[in-house]
Structure 1
Amino acid sequence: MNEQTVTPGTATAPEAPVTPGEAMAPEAPVTPEASALPAPTAPTVPAPTEPTEPTSPAPTAPPRRVLRAVGRWTAAVLAFGVLGTGTAFGIASLERTDVPGLATEGDGRWAYPKLSLPALPAGSPRPFSTGNPAEIHHADLRDLLLPAPAGAVPDKKLTGGWISTETFVAAYRPQNRASVAQLLKDAAPRHIAARGWTMPDGTVSRIYLVRFNSTAFATRLIDDLYVGSSAGTPLDRTEAMEFDGSWGSANDIENLSSFVFTEQAPFGAEHVRQAYTLAGDTVALIVHERPGKREAEQVPFQQTVILQNQLLA
């Protein structure tokens, strides 16, 4: 998986299953043989003999059961030692893309370029620092847009620059555009920037960033669109949008609030995934559409949301 992390200004191969050895048949108990006691004889006085060196008693052989147990444990230790060494060597010798859990290619993620946070004007704080109570993004909003991944065909209308209110409102159903336009007029956003692209599998991606004068106005837009437990005001070409249960708290970024939804079957001519993120004074809307009655892939969508959120954090 090609996971990038944003820098300022800029799981192990499964071990081969261990096949247990054949079960050992239980040993028959060893019983001492009976011996006849010698008949008592009259005590005799031994004749004097030449002194001899003392001899140590012959060691008693341990029972066969103990020997077999020791043998089995020794074999087990050797087997696991060889297995562990082989596994460690195998992982160390593999390329990173070959180790499950550490893969960077072939797991569905898109190949985004290396990301970095844009430079701030001299003396300007970051949006969630203690000296910025209004949570303002002082960087150029266009520089906070996620770049397109490798293989993408750029959208000629959403090029990463400024867009008009009308272009943003066109993301919603025709019958809802007038009300959304009125919300923006009342909240008076400072800027709207957007970027879009199409991937080789036909997935169309669009990212909109709407920046206001403070977090209060951005929060008001989220509320007025009724985004929260529901997807709120419907986007164009969407049917039944439901909360995406695959999005977990582990994907959340501190200080940001994300609302992630996916279209439920049966859907129309395309499947849509969408997410809103409230990031201080800025609202992000991220949309993936895949035509042909095929679902827009979950992995690249969540990847896109996470990376865009990192740029806004």
Structure 2
Amino acid sequence: MSEQQAVVPAPVEPAQEAAAPTAVPAVPEAPRPPRRALRAVTRWTAAVLVFGGLGTGTALAITSAERTDVPGLATEGDGRWEYPELSLPALPAGSPRPFSEANTAEIHHADLRKLLLPAPAGATPDKALNGGWVKQERFLAEYRAEDRDELAQLLNDTPPRHIAARGWTMPDGTRARIYLLRFNSTAFASHVRDELRIKASMRLPLAGAVETEYDTTWKSPRAVEGVVSYVLTEKAPHGDAHTRQAYSVAGDTLALIVHERPGKEESARIPFQQTVILQNQLLG
């Protein structure tokens, strides 16, 4: 499996929020990036050099998780999925990145749909979660029927501006779903996180994973600056499927990431943690 590349923000181009990222032609020299962004670039570059390198010509891309971020990764056969080369989307003219020094409110100005992780190689896309906007009811369907009214009231009191989602199924049957909820402020996103009470035993669990516990193998809660993740796994013995889930809070945006594998085997840990880290990189 080929290695993938590291997160480095692309130059800010005057573009509509929904415009898809394209090859960037030569432009006049951009303003000096914020110090925090420079530190992030330096840190990722150093990681690439220290942990084996990713080859030449990869400095402007986002890559899979570093081996130090996903404990137990081996050089070959580690089970990672092969994601396409990623890049951060263009921003509206004059808009800062969410965690730059110029953006104290930690607002995401890019089109939320462009911040969704794309499906990896070999995946069958979910036609209902195709990377576009979804209604609140679709998000609520991830939770137990008896909890949906309470969660709906929470989202009515603290309404998200948008919900974007993407899903796919892998050859081994694993179903992946990612939801991004953008709120009017970081306070709203944090309030919803707090009301969900993301603990080892969730007060509002997913429909397919009522009994959960923290994934103690997850060692990267703040691997991406500005993004905090809470990673859980379904307790054994599980039912007809095994579910892994993570909530990531990134400024004004809350992400729900789910891997669900039918059958007696557990959903694979390495590709799940890889998915979480890559999605976090896009949000950071």
TM-score by length of 1: 0.68
User: Residue by residue, what CA displacement relative to the aligned partner does 1:151-192 show, whole Å, maximum 9, x if unpaired?
Assistant: 000001000000000001101011111111111111111000
Deviation at 1:232, TM superposition (A): 3.9
Asked if 2 retains the 8 angstrom alpha-carbon contact of 1:239 and 1:267, the reply is no
Selected match of 1:126 from 89, 94, 97? 97
Selected match of 1:142 from 78, 97, 113? 113
| Structure 2 residue runs without a partner (length 5+) | 12-51, 53-71
Asked if 1 retains the 8 angstrom alpha-carbon contact of 2:88 and 2:282, the reply is yes
User: Is residue 213 of structure 1 aligned with residue 205 of structure 2?
Assistant: no
- Equivalent-residue separation in structure 2 for 1:222 and 1:169 (angstroms): 15
- Equivalent-residue separation in structure 1 for 2:228 and 2:129 (angstroms): 25
Counting only pairs closer than 5 Å after superposition, residues 171-210 of structure 1 correspond to structure 2 as: 171-210=142-181
Selected match of 2:193 from 222, 238, 241? 222
**1:150 partner letter:** A
User: Is residue 116 of structure 1 aligned with residue 87 of structure 2?
Assistant: yes
**1:164 partner letter:** K
Q: 1:290 to 1:229 in 2, by over 3 A?
A: closer
Q: 1:254 to 1:102 in 2, by over 3 A?
A: same
Aligned to 2:230: 259
User: Is residue 6 of structure 1 aligned with residue 7 of structure 2?
Assistant: yes
Asked if 1 retains the 8 angstrom alpha-carbon contact of 2:162 and 2:182, the reply is yes
- Equivalent-residue separation in structure 1 for 2:73 and 2:236 (angstroms): 30
Selected match of 2:247 from 270, 276, 279? 276
Identity within the alignment, %: 63
| Structure 1 residue runs without a partner (length 5+) | 11-90, 92-99
Q: 1:237 to 1:249 in 2, by over 3 A?
A: closer
Aligned to 2:138: 167
**2:164 partner letter:** A
User: Is residue 234 of structure 1 aligned with residue 205 of structure 2?
Assistant: yes
SS at match of 2:187: helix
- Equivalent-residue separation in structure 1 for 2:276 and 2:73 (angstroms): 20
- Equivalent-residue separation in structure 1 for 2:129 and 2:216 (angstroms): 30
Could you say what the CA RMSD is over the residues aligned between the two structures, in angstroms? 1.9
Aligned to 1:51: none
Asked if 2 retains the 8 angstrom alpha-carbon contact of 1:210 and 1:282, the reply is yes
User: Is residue 106 of structure 1 aligned with residue 106 of structure 2?
Assistant: no
Asked if 2 retains the 8 angstrom alpha-carbon contact of 1:242 and 1:261, the reply is yes
- Equivalent-residue separation in structure 2 for 1:4 and 1:173 (angstroms): 38
Deviation at 1:5, TM superposition (A): 2.3
Asked if 2 retains the 8 angstrom alpha-carbon contact of 1:109 and 1:300, the reply is yes
Asked if 2 retains the 8 angstrom alpha-carbon contact of 1:258 and 1:276, the reply is yes
**2:78 partner letter:** D
The count of corresponding residues between Structure 1 and Structure 2 is: 224
Asked if 2 retains the 8 angstrom alpha-carbon contact of 1:239 and 1:268, the reply is no
**Which moved further from structure 2: 137-146 or 241-250?**
241-250
Moved over 4 A (4+): none
Q: Which has the higher contact order (CA 8 A, sep 6+)?
A: 2
- Equivalent-residue separation in structure 2 for 1:248 and 1:112 (angstroms): 22
**1:227 partner letter:** I
User: Residue by residue, what CA displacement relative to the aligned partner does 1:1-40 show, whole Å, maximum 9, x if unpaired?
Assistant: 6444223229xxxxxxxxxxxxxxxxxxxxxxxxxxxxxx
User: Residue by residue, what CA displacement relative to the aligned partner does 1:90-124 show, whole Å, maximum 9, x if unpaired?
Assistant: x9xxxxxxxx9772x52100000001000110000
Selected match of 1:303 from 265, 269, 274? 274
User: Residue by residue, what CA displacement relative to the aligned partner does 1:217-238 show, whole Å, maximum 9, x if unpaired?
Assistant: 0000000111145444100111
TM-score by length of 2: 0.75
Q: 1:250 to 1:157 in 2, by over 3 A?
A: closer
Q: 1:262 to 1:4 in 2, by over 3 A?
A: farther
The structure with the largest alpha-carbon Rg is: 1
- Equivalent-residue separation in structure 1 for 2:200 and 2:251 (angstroms): 20
